Amino acid sequence: MADAVLLAIEGLDPLEVEMKLKKQIISCPHCGHHLHIDVDMSQGDQDYYDDCRVCCHPIHFNLHVDEVHRTLELHVSADDD
């Protein structure tokens, strides 16, 4: 099960985007528990894993920063599809 979240960063100046953490609520693709995460916009595109704080299964995060359209696209998956 995969979930994509599109985060708009419109109206922010580029320097502010480089130093910004965006708070986001996601659902664990394994147990469905809602998790509060911080998305770090300062590092550009990212691909990483973090464990669910409830069920301890790994969650795959894939973040794409689109500077032209000033959006972030966050894909959250169990990575076992």
In one-letter notation, the amino acid at residue 70 is R
Question: Which pLDDT belongs to residue 72?
Answer: 79
Q: pLDDT tens per residue, the chain (81 residues)? A: 455 555 555 555 555 555 577 788 899 999 999 999 988 877 889 999 999 999 999 999 998 887 787 777 888 899 765
Q: pLDDT value at position 1?
A: 46
Cβ neighbors of 15 (< 8 A, separation 6 or more) are: none
Q: CA–CA separation, 79 vs 23, rounded Å?
A: 23
Per-residue confidence (pLDDT) for residue 44, from 0 to 100: 84
